[in-house]
Structure 1
Amino acid sequence: MEEERTRDDSSVPEMLEIKVPSATKDGEIIRFEIKTVTTLTDFPSCEMSTTRTFEDVEWLHNCLSVREDPGGSIVPPMPNRPASTAAEAEALMKQEFGGEMRNMLADQIPKYCRSVEMFLCLLAKHARYRRSEPLKQFLVSEPLPPRVLAKLSMFKRATNVVKDKGLQSKKDPDEFFHGQRGFVHESHQCMKDVNVVFHQQLVAQRQFAMSLGAFASNITKAGSSACSSIESHTKLMTRFGQVMDQCQQSENTLATSSENSFAFTFCVFEKYLESSKDMLNRRLRLLTESEAAAAAAVKAKASNKAKADAAREDAVQKFEEISRLGRTELSLFHQLRVHSLQTALVTYCQNQISTGRDTYAMLARSLSELRQIDDE
């Protein structure tokens, strides 16, 4: 009863918190554990737990982006599909890190959990989607409705692509949206470029860590074989190999923290900017349709005048609605984008500084130990 009173208390702030703490492999299927805590009265309970597959995540995104008209809403981007087989995982690692990296990062489950959690958290923060029926079904229903993915027809997709290309040079009468089109396009390209460069840095960092590991192994073997008769030399080589092994661990820690903070957030918001572009293109298409409807109403004959006027009013209403909602969406999106990137950058810098200090202390301590061995 206390729980119900708390949920019904209007003074309690609205909260919808979603976590994906773990996932398990069932053959080629990855099942994600979804835990939800909420004060929203739309949900049957304050705390819920269920399991979902990636196909369920696809169904949710499809419901919000295709089955329902997004209008002026910016739909949070779909997470990347996880590799469900060993062959897919190896192909993905080769694509991301090159052939030499295929044995690295074997356990990708935490990465997949983080991606799905980010998608769900972005939905939970969205004023429209946090109360949507598909999200509620995803978090509560057992089982989900049949996962039939709605798809845009090939003709409609091709038509939208052609329209969007033709509208790139169109001047928007609203200065706010005209400026946003240019800003979002430039920002999206910058994010893509940063992602490419940062990914190259991660690859180099992982490869350097592998080289340190190989060097440490060879040094240790050399100390225990060829010079095993000289005790001090053996100790020196063994300890030096241990130092290189610790350096490898430090490099891997830096790369992992960079991937989990800066690289992960940039990848998400690169795709989120793509969703923003989609919303702006939808609005621009409605602008041209309202202009065409207005021109048709002016030219309409008396017998078709009422029908043409109704079509014009409908087109204008749709355009005004997407403009009203789109303006709010863009403002909230940029606030979220700036805050998330700032947080990721601070976390990245803190991890770099912390790991750097630990590595420096380890090297200073190891150097002192090596000198003691050398003096013996």
Structure 2
Amino acid sequence: MSDSDEKPEHQKENGEINGEEEIRLKPFQPWYSVQIKGASKNGEVVMFQITTVKLEQCKEEVEVDRQYEDFEWLQHCLNIVPNVKGVIFPPLPDRPIVSAAEAEAKSRKQLGTASKNIKGDEFHKDCRKLEKYLQGIVRHEAIGKCEALSNFLTKKEPPVRAKLKKGILSNLSRAVDGVRKGGHKDIDEMFQKERDLANDMQKIAKETSLNFDTMVNSLCRISMACNHLSTALCLGMSAEDNGASAIINKLQVEFAKSIDHYGYAVDVCTANDENTLGFHLDLYSRYWLSCKEMLFERTCALVQFDNASKTLEKAKPLKKPMAEAAKEDAEKELNAISEVAKKEITKFHQQRTLDFQKSLILYAEAKVKAARDVYALLAKDVSTIKQMDVEFD
């Protein structure tokens, strides 16, 4: 056979290999598109309306209702899925505030202890947080196609809500393990740096988020003070409508309008701050905790491997084969977790950088737009006051 006859076959083989590599290296495509369109309160329970589009099945759309306990059960099921050790799980948001006592406590924290106002339900914020949580799951290659997620998103009937045990003893045991194993020296310098970084950044991110919330709460109090001042100006108007009293009344009305405009601008700034940078800081204060938990899980595997190695060194001849097998199993588990963890950490740092950049841009743009809008309103109010006839007889 000539060289010219062999060449096409050789090219075909290379083409097949390249095609297989291309398929293997192709990024994970989500099976679902998820959106939480709203929430409704039924007694002490908040039901979230979830709309899911099955991207793999002719764009079929499914709508289900789920409560917060269903999300907790989903998180539990994802944690026990095989081969997920080393995965940084999307963090589950806090439970929504439902009772009147909780709402009152939150309002006093935001508006001040002397405030008698109670803020209304803010389930739209809970919807956005839970939607972000679900989007993080469906886009993750390791957990985005598991059966528990499919049942949660597509089955009309909610999953069995088994009560998860979160007692004092389990928390105490975890705290003790954290003290005992958390300071274990890592054999891999990269993972040791990541552990130190996660410990520091989790504290910094949480503190930053709390301080940002404090700043937003201060804006809420300023807005409330503006409303009180505007109301006081209107109530302080004179009953007489002639001479100097009429002029003063007009001035107070215009001044009250300008105070209302400024209060409205503060409300807009507050909402923008919460929806942009505030949302990001809250999300990644919890994401850093999830990263820290993943690294702790790997540290536990490292401790188990070190203990198995020490046991092998001290083992007697009769028990040596069993000790060798235990060490090999521990080493395989450590290597498997480490391989997954390296990829997860790389993706996590890339994503948090992009998200932080995006949130800062949105935050700055919203600030500029709000400042321009309030400037236009106040400039108009000042112009109106200047044009008024305020000469007294």
1:171 aligned counterpart, secondary structure:
coil
Q: Which residue of 2 aligns with 1:32?
A: 48
Q: CA RMSD in A?
A: 2.5
Query: Which segments of 5 or more consecutive residues in structure 2 lack a partner in the other structure?
Result: 1-22
Q: Which residue of 1 aligns with 2:191?
A: 177
1:130 aligned counterpart, secondary structure:
coil
- Distance (whole Å) between structure 2 residues aligned to residue 325 and residue 254 of structure 1: 41
* CA contact 1:227–1:233 (8 Å) conserved in 2: no
* CA contact 1:283–1:322 (8 Å) conserved in 2: yes
2:63 aligned counterpart, secondary structure:
strand
Deviation of residue 312 (structure 1)?
0.9
Partner AA of 1:346 in structure 2: I
Structure-2-length-normalised TM-score: 0.86
Deviation of residue 13 (structure 1)?
8.3
2:214 pairs with 1:200: yes
Partner AA of 2:152 in structure 1: F
Aligned residues: 365
- Distance (whole Å) between structure 2 residues aligned to residue 151 and residue 178 of structure 1: 32
Query: Which segments of 5 or more consecutive residues in structure 1 lack a partner in the other structure?
Result: 1-9
- Distance (whole Å) between structure 2 residues aligned to residue 161 and residue 61 of structure 1: 21
2:148 pairs with 1:134: yes
Q: Which residue of 1 aligns with 2:350?
A: 335
Partner residue of 1:17 out of 33, 38, 48: 33
Q: Which residue of 2 aligns with 1:305?
A: 320
- Distance (whole Å) between structure 2 residues aligned to residue 340 and residue 79 of structure 1: 18
Of 167-176 and 123-132, more deviation after overlay is shown by: 167-176
* CA contact 2:182–2:299 (8 Å) conserved in 1: no
- Distance (whole Å) between structure 1 residues aligned to residue 329 and residue 186 of structure 2: 20
Partner AA of 2:41 in structure 1: K
Q: In percent, how many aligned pairs have the same letter?
A: 28
2:280 pairs with 1:265: yes
- Distance (whole Å) between structure 1 residues aligned to residue 313 and residue 375 of structure 2: 76
Partner residue of 1:83 out of 92, 97, 106: 97
Partner deviation per Cα, 1:147-194 (whole Å, 9 max, x = no partner)? 114447866654443232233433212111111111111211211221
Distance 1:67 1:89, change over 3 A: farther
Deviation of residue 126 (structure 1)?
1.7
2:110 pairs with 1:71: no
Q: Which residue of 2 aligns with 1:5?
A: none
Deviation of residue 207 (structure 1)?
0.7
1:187 aligned counterpart, secondary structure:
helix
Partner AA of 1:240 in structure 2: F
Distance 1:208 1:157, change over 3 A: closer
Higher CA-based Rg: 2
- Distance (whole Å) between structure 2 residues aligned to residue 85 and residue 226 of structure 1: 47
Q: Which residue of 1 aligns with 2:112?
A: 98
- Distance (whole Å) between structure 2 residues aligned to residue 293 and residue 180 of structure 1: 24
Partner residue of 1:121 out of 127, 132, 135: 135
* CA contact 1:228–1:234 (8 Å) conserved in 2: no
- Distance (whole Å) between structure 1 residues aligned to residue 359 and residue 116 of structure 2: 27
1:31 aligned counterpart, secondary structure:
strand
Q: Which residue of 2 aligns with 1:209?
A: 223
Q: Which residue of 2 aligns with 1:7?
A: none
Of 221-230 and 329-338, more deviation after overlay is shown by: 221-230
Partner deviation per Cα, 1:221-255 (whole Å, 9 max, x = no partner)? 22354666633322221111011011111101101
* CA contact 2:229–2:259 (8 Å) conserved in 1: yes
2:155 pairs with 1:163: no
Distance 1:301 1:262, change over 3 A: same
Deviation of residue 40 (structure 1)?
3.4
2:90 aligned counterpart, secondary structure:
coil
Partner AA of 1:339 in structure 2: L
Partner residue of 1:219 out of 215, 225, 233: 233
- Distance (whole Å) between structure 2 residues aligned to residue 12 and residue 70 of structure 1: 18
Distance 1:279 1:142, change over 3 A: same
- Distance (whole Å) between structure 2 residues aligned to residue 302 and residue 173 of structure 1: 28
Partner AA of 2:122 in structure 1: Q
Partner AA of 1:76 in structure 2: P
Partner AA of 1:36 in structure 2: T
Deviation of residue 76 (structure 1)?
1.2
* CA contact 1:209–1:251 (8 Å) conserved in 2: yes
